[in-house]
Amino acid sequence: MFVLASASKARQKLLDQIALRHKVIVSDFDETQLQEPDPILKVKLLAKAKADSALKKLIEENHALNTYQALLGCDSLFEFKGEIFEKPIDKEQLISRWQRMSGQSGFLHTGHCLISLDNSKSDRESISQNNSCDGVVSTRIEFMNLSNFEINKYASTSEPYNCAGGFAIEGNGGLFIKKIDGCFSNVIGLSLPWLKNNLEKFGLSRLLLDR
């Protein structure tokens, strides 16, 4: 079994899409603790912090570690002209961001931290240090030109408030994205090709497409 250290429904759906059976353990890490201006370093550190926090929970809650083979922490943010756009805090911020993003482009960065648990150790430090790998995948996103009417209509739905950058490509937001350049699933919340490559490194490919 695989552990996803994220409450994101979009990430859970991506794992379902590739038939990767998983359990969700949401980390306790307080993201506001981390002040880091570099977007790529920030998602990398947050993904690792979430993975470590979920691993700690897994050990503390006395889960039988040998029933789990791997654990993944992820964090996404949108970089727009050097600024970091995380989940919008309110409607006003969302509308003002979309007015700037309309017709422009930016980068969706997702940090990944994968920890292999496929061994008999139960000491958090030795697991996390010896059997983990991390990586950031970045996808360029180009937006359509949007009218204020369209922006206001989108801002009146709940969808954008739960997404880094204020859009869900797999939802209504798909209408506003002209093109992307890079990994597609990365925009939804985790890069499936990254996960495939790194599960292979740990000899855990059997977890994929497991029906």
- The answer to whether 91 contacts a second copy (rule: CB under 8 A) is no
Cβ proximity to a second copy, 85 vs 154, nearer residue: 154
The answer to whether the CB of 115 falls within 8 A of the CB of 75 is no
The answer to whether the CB of 65 falls within 8 A of the CB of 58 is yes
- Identify which range of 35-43, 83-91, 124-132, 171-179 contacts a second copy by CB under 8 A: 171-179
> What is the secondary structure of 61-105 as a DSSP string?
TT--GGG--EEEEEEEEEEETTEEE-S-SSHHHHHHHHHHHTT-E
Interacting residues of 191 by C-beta distance below 8 A, sequence separation 6+: 110, 112, 137, 183, 185
Six-digit token string for 49: 């912090």
- The answer to whether 95 contacts a second copy (rule: CB under 8 A) is no
- The answer to whether 19 contacts a second copy (rule: CB under 8 A) is yes
Q: Catalytic one among 16, 75, 90, 134? A: 75
- The answer to whether 17 contacts a second copy (rule: CB under 8 A) is yes
Residue 50 to residue 36: CA distance in whole angstroms = 16
- The answer to whether 9 contacts a second copy (rule: CB under 8 A) is no
- The answer to whether 184 contacts a second copy (rule: CB under 8 A) is yes
Choosing from 53, 110, 185, 198, the residue that interacts with a second copy (CB under 8 A) is 185
Six-digit token string for 128: 């996390």
Cβ proximity to a second copy, 63 vs 196, nearer residue: 196
- The answer to whether 203 contacts a second copy (rule: CB under 8 A) is no
- The answer to whether 98 contacts a second copy (rule: CB under 8 A) is no
Cβ proximity to a second copy, 119 vs 205, nearer residue: 205
- The answer to whether 128 contacts a second copy (rule: CB under 8 A) is no
Residue 165 to residue 99: CA distance in whole angstroms = 13
Is 75 annotated in the active site?
Answer: yes
Angle (CA) 20-22-28 rounded to 5° is 140
In the complex, minimum distance from the CB of residue 11 to a second copy, in angstroms, rounded to a whole number: 13
Residue 62 to residue 140: CA distance in whole angstroms = 41
Residues near a second copy (CB under 8 A) are 14, 17-19, 139, 144, 153-154, 157, 169-172, 174-185, 187, 192-193, 196-197, 208-209
Q: Which residues are catalytic?
A: 75
